Structure 1
Amino acid sequence: MSDMVVSDIIIIDDHPMLRKGLIQLLELEVDFNPVAECGDGKQAVELAQQYEPDLILLDLNMPGFSGIDTLKALRAADIDARILMFTVSDAQEDVVEAFKWGADGYLLKDMEPEQIVEQLRQALTGQMAISPELTNILASAIRHKSTIHKANINDLTSREKQVLKLIAAGQSNKLIARKLKISEGTVKVHVKRVLSKLNMKSRVEAAVWLVENRIS
């Protein structure tokens, strides 16, 4: 067990009872460490900067500063934690909007506890975490967009192409840095440039575009 990686997690939800329940669930798992919680999106950015968590569970429907507002603020602050939306909404527009602004997953609150734990572990390995019933909604929405996207792989440098392919493989910035033997900060710069050149807002969108266009 000495090689076990313990992941720090922050929970952002405006329902205190739900936060407490999630914390109790996570504390049962030896590889999860819930380090902070809050019910306010604006405070979430401060907590993320303070604790530098590996993963953030973020409620979508919060009063005032919404989950999407919080997601945008976290990414604008260069928080590179895995961010999973945790919500009751299975509306296509909510799912697509979340991934558009940089979410790494989208989980429904009616999932079984063991499913939540499984999806969190999946997200922490660099994979996308999504409630199974939402997979088709996301795939069809992004597939439609990718067919009209004018992005050109030739706009990328050879290093940026390497980074894009590793993004498509579900690798986190930390894993990409290790694989390419460069710093995590350099990876962040490459990812930003890749998304900017392809006119995309999220890693998921870029990954789907790469697969849909059969670029190898």
Structure 2
Amino acid sequence: MPPPLPPHDIRVLVIDDHPLFRRGVLQLLASTPHFKTVGEADTGDEGIALALALKPDLILLDLNMKKGLDGIATLQHLQGTELDAKIVILTVSDDPQDLVTAIRAGAEGYLLKDTDPEQMIGHLNEIMFGRTVISDTLTHCLAAALRDDSMKTLRQPSALTEREDNIVRCLAQGLSNKLIARELGIMESTVKVHIRNLLKKLNFHSRLEAAVWAVTQGQR
């Protein structure tokens, strides 16, 4: 079931140093009723300044920008502010290391620039609904990277409480915090606390890492 439409326009900031691609993204967003572009920038530094001034709901961020800060450095800087925006990496790079680095730095999504426009909008809707999304073709890359990482890092599923284990299973199904709360009959704020605790126990940086790991462990 697709996520419901938001009650208000999603305010978007686009940070990308390719003018032609940026223009295409702006046109795509302009043709989608519930998205509203509030700004665009061609460098990380300019993007950060605009983000702090405009306080968008969603930031689409290029990974490899040639001038100034690259995408990861820009993402890390934005994560250090009080902004409440969802940040999505939009890139041509299908390098697993770039993917893992971005997710661990706090990206809410990692989408390839050749994604079908309709699918792109669908992914952005899911992200705004509270899910972390990566391009379908990259899921196996993240899974492989986590398997390699698990060989270096001791992870004990037995360390999880029954509630945390249930939440990991929900993450593996791609459920948002709101849907997990509804599924388990608890408050959404409680879900957030449990996710924070289980990520710490399993030595993960993001819910997506935990979700993919859970799938590889058969915890669905």
Q: Shorter-normalised TM-score: what interval?
A: 0.7 to 0.9
**Gap regions ≥5 residues in structure 1:** none
2:155 match: secondary structure:
coil
Distance 1:211 1:69, change over 3 A: same
Counterpart Cα distance in 2 of 1:37 and 1:178: 37
Gaps of 5+ in 2: none
* Percent of residue pairs identical: 42
Cα distance in structure 1, aligned partners of 2:178 and 2:83: 13
Measure how far apart 1:104 and its partner are. Answer: 3.0
2:77 to 73, 76, 92: 73
1:200 aligns with 2:204: yes
- CA deviations 1:159-182 (Å, max 9, x no partner) are 544443433332334544566553
**In structure 1, distance between residues paired with 2:52 and 2:169:** 28
CA distance in structure 2 between the aligned counterparts of 1:115 and 1:168, rounded to whole angstroms = 21
- Supply the AA of the counterpart residue of 1:108: L
Contact 1:126-1:170 at 8 Å conserved across structures: no
Q: 2:62 aligns with which of 40, 59, 63?
A: 59
Are the counterparts in 2 of residues 83 and 105 from structure 1 also a CA contact under 8 Å?
Answer: yes
The match for 2:89 is 85
Shift of 1:207: 1.1
CA distance in structure 1 between the aligned counterparts of 2:123 and 2:70, rounded to whole angstroms: 23
CA contact (8 A) 1:102 1:203 kept: no
> Which residue identity does 2:135 align to in structure 1?
S
Q: 1:35 aligns with which of 38, 45, 65?
A: 38
Tell me the residue number matched to 1:182. Answer: 187
Indicate how the Cα distance of structure 1 residues 45 and 155 shifts in structure 2: closer, same or farther if over 3 A, else same.
Answer: farther
Aligned pair in 2 of structure 1 residues 173, 16: CA closer, same or farther (>3 Å)?
farther
What do the CA deviations read for 1:27-60 (whole angstroms, capped 9, x no partner)?
111132223333333454551685251x321100
User: 1:208–1:4: structure 2 CA closer, same or farther, 3 Å change rule?
Assistant: closer
How far apart in 1 are the matches of 2:193 and 2:13?
A: 25
* Pair 1:165–1:45, CA change in 2 (3 A): farther
Tell me the SS of whatever aligns to 1:89: coil
Calculate the aligned-residue CA RMSD, in Å. Answer: 3.1
